[in-house]
Amino acid sequence: MKELFISATRLLPAIALAAMASLGASDAAAGWPDGYYDSLEGKCGVELMRAVKAVAQNHKKITYGSDTWKAFEHTDVKVVDGTEYWWDMYSNELVPVSAGRPDSNVMNIEHSVANSWWGKTKNDAYCDIVHLNPSNSQANSKKGNYPLAELQSVTWNNGVTFIGSPKPGQGGGAGNCYEPADQYKGDFARVFMYMFTIYDNISWKSNTAWMYDINSELMFRQWARELLLRWSQNDPVSDKERSRNDGIQSQQRNRNPFIDLPDLAEHIWGSKSTVPFSLEGGGGGPEDPKDPEATEITYSWLSSTDTDMAGWTVENIELAPEVKDVWKWREYNGNHYLNGSAFISGTPYAALAYAWSPEVDLTKAEIARFSFSHAAKFQTTLRSLCKVAVKDAESGDIDEIDIPAWPNKGSWTFVPSGDIDLAAYAGRKVHVGFKYESDETGADIWEINEGRLYVKNKVTGIECIPSVDTDSDDSFLVEVWGNNILAPEGAVIFDINGRQVSGTNLQHGVYIVVKPTFKKSVKIVIAQ
């Protein structure tokens, strides 16, 4: 299963699409209004935090409940294999949007910043969709009102939500904490920054002050500042967040500035807190489609809900005669996983085998990060012999990479591997996978699922063709009819991945129309 881009469905009404086409410029595309962040210029620290609050605090209040789900149609929908599902950042469960508002036993409206932290008062914070998300009900219940943290040990997880005890120096004294999956850590960090900036003066309770300090103008405790800044840095703003921010603006009439201008956080809480913020250096304005940002792709593999390996293959290099195979796809209590083992009837045997992903094109990659969840109760030779592996699709050469984080011994609890940087393989097509190796002294069982490969590509195929006669600009002729883009002769249409398309029967998504006579590229969102 591959998630390419957040669904553009419902992001803009049909009348907006027509206006966009007639204007023929990026001004009609989603993004923050002109001048929206001008008041932040030259400020830093507490002064900048207050300026951010002044920009974003005034917004339309959306009634919590059925109206929230209506807003989610504009902010939290993704398309998987042609079907729209609620975008759940707490589990891998796929709940179709077409079924309407989910039953509360299936999904809830989750406050990422727990509402009990301010006594559950139904104020503006209670119904602010910036920190509300569709959530699997079991994950919501398990998460409770725990603070964010990186975990030392895990007591419950579903491959996306992890509950357990925090690492030393984190948690603020809480016995249990919550750690999101790696691909969502930056999302939650930027939401927490928004909430504690916009709502710094509500009645935060002292008995839940694990992450915040009500006596500090900057709100966060030092350990929490460091955590959120690190997560925001390690998990950069994605297309999903940008599209969600546009959806929030369409419904709530404000935006999360920490998504639009990620460098803001460093100028408030981080290493640049005494350096005046500059829009020129921190973002500068809405995205210009003639120089689109790199396409972001997340490959999702080995899901705990998959019934098979879904395109993964096995390569056996050397197996003891007693070992028929090493890698198998297994299931226990509804949780599916890739199982590697050469331990048979109480005896460890020597083996060397790889499990490989489908081929991945990194020829345009600027960033590539791989992560997964894994469990291993018995660990004798596992940590020294088993690795992440990368195979060059052309030469067949294999590199081995150490894994940052291993599960604790004595438990079958799945834990995050940590991010593994694969940027060194940019410019190549590769298979990402796992090396299982064992010998007669140890053949440990290794269980793996929830693989994620995040790739940020530099798009080079959609740059606006230089104008040769700006007086003959005919971009106003670009029109949208249903799922078709009508463009003047000589225009070329690209999808967001840089592939040229015909312009007819298009799927949901963002498209760029260019022509030498256009003064600006035309950005189109197909939303139906």
pLDDT in tens, 75-89: 999 888 778 899 999
> Angle between the 66-75 and 239-252 helix axes, to the nearest 10 degrees?
140
Provide the strand spans (E) within 30-184.
Answer: 77-80, 83-86, 107-111, 132-136, 151-157, 161-166, 177-180
Proportion of the chain above pLDDT 70, given as a percent: 87
CA distance to 315, 344, 347, 372, 388, per residue, from 322 (Å): 17, 8, 10, 30, 25
Which tokens is 174 given?
């809480």
pLDDT at 236 over 60: yes
Query: What's the pLDDT score for residue 409?
Result: 87
What are the DSSP calls for 300-349, one per residue? EES-TT-SS-TT-EEEEEEE-TT-S-SEEEEEETTEEEEEE--EETTEE-
Which tokens is 159 given?
């491959």
Provide the strand spans (E) within 113-183.
Answer: 132-136, 151-157, 161-166, 177-180
pLDDT at 284 over 80: no
Proportion of the chain above pLDDT 90, given as a percent: 53
User: Do 484 and 441 contact (CB within 8 A), yes or no?
Assistant: no
> Angle between the 239-252 and 182-198 helix axes, to the nearest 10 degrees?
30
Rounded to whole angstroms, how far apart are CA atoms 204 and 145?
13
Average pLDDT of span 183-198 = 95
DSSP secondary structure code for residue 461 in this structure: S
Q: Which amino acid is at 273?
A: S
Query: What's the pLDDT score for residue 157?
Result: 92
User: Among the listed ranges 402-411, 450-459, 501-510, which one has the minimum average pLDDT value?
Assistant: 501-510
Query: What's the pLDDT score for residue 524?
Result: 80
CA distance to 237, 263, 493, 498, per residue, from 294 (Å): 12, 18, 17, 10
Angle at 149 between CA 143 and CA 151, to 5 degrees: 90
Query: What's the pLDDT score for residue 368?
Result: 92
Average pLDDT of span 387-396 = 94
In Å, the largest CA–CA distance within the chain is 81
- Mean pLDDT for all residues in the chain: 84
Q: Write out the H or E segment, with its range, that includes residue 231.
A: helix 222-234
Rounded to whole angstroms, how far apart are CA atoms 422 and 417?
14
Q: What is the rounded radius of gyration, in angstroms, for the C-alpha atoms of the chain?
A: 24
Q: Three-class SS string for 236-280?
A: CCCHHHHHHHHHHHHHHCCCCHHHHCCCHHHHHCCCCCCCCCCHH
pLDDT at 3 over 50: no
Rounded to whole angstroms, how far apart are CA atoms 230 and 422?
19
Average pLDDT of span 94-120 = 91
pLDDT classification of 33: cutoffs 50, 70, 90: confident
Average pLDDT of span 407-421 = 88
pLDDT at 163 over 50: yes
- DSSP bridge pairs for 353: 316, 436
Q: Write out the H or E segment, with its range, that includes residue 18.
A: helix 14-23
pLDDT at 458 over 90: no
pLDDT classification of 517: cutoffs 50, 70, 90: confident
Give residue-wise pLDDT tens across range 287-318: 333 333 446 777 888 888 788 888 899 999 99
Give residue-wise pLDDT tens across range 210-229: 999 988 999 999 999 999 99
226 Rama sector, left if φ>0, alpha if ψ -120 to 50, beta otherwise: alpha
CA distance to 97, 275, 463, 472, 520, per residue, from 467 (Å): 43, 39, 12, 10, 9
pLDDT classification of 256: cutoffs 50, 70, 90: very high
User: Among the listed ranges 151-165, 247-261, 267-281, 383-397, which one has the minimum average pLDDT value?
Assistant: 267-281
CA atoms within 13 A on the CB side of 95: 23
Sign of CA dihedral 324, 328, 332, 334: negative
Q: Which residue has the higher pLDDT, 387 or 505?
A: 387
Pairing type for strands 365-375 and 415-416 reads: antiparallel
Query: What's the pLDDT score for residue 281?
Result: 56
Query: What's the pLDDT score for residue 261?
Result: 92
pLDDT at 23 over 60: no
Say which residue the tokens 């269980």 belong to: 447
Rounded to whole angstroms, how far apart are CA atoms 451 and 467?
44
Which tokens is 512 given?
């760029």
Does the reported pTM lie above 0.75? no
Which tokens is 271 given?
């290493």
pLDDT at 464 over 70: no
DSSP secondary structure code for residue 147 in this structure: P
pLDDT at 282 over 50: no
- DSSP bridge pairs for 388: 401, 434
Query: What's the pLDDT score for residue 294?
Result: 43
Q: Which amino acid is at 21?
A: A
Query: What's the pLDDT score for residue 81?
Result: 79
pLDDT at 481 over 60: yes
pLDDT at 7 over 60: no
Helix H segments across 101-203? Answer: 137-143, 182-198
End-to-end CA gap in the chain? 22
Q: Please state, as a whole number, how many other Cβ atoms lie within 10 Å of the Cβ of residue 233.
A: 14
Number of helices (H) and strands (E) in the chain: give both, helices first.
11, 29
Rounded to whole angstroms, how far apart are CA atoms 478 and 377?
60
Question: Which residue, 199, 219, 200, 202, is CA-closest to 210?
Answer: 219
Say which residue the tokens 């962040």 belong to: 37
Query: What's the pLDDT score for residue 418?
Result: 87
Query: What's the pLDDT score for residue 315?
Result: 93
pLDDT classification of 129: cutoffs 50, 70, 90: very high
Angle at 170 between CA 167 and CA 171, to 5 degrees: 105
pLDDT at 507 over 80: no
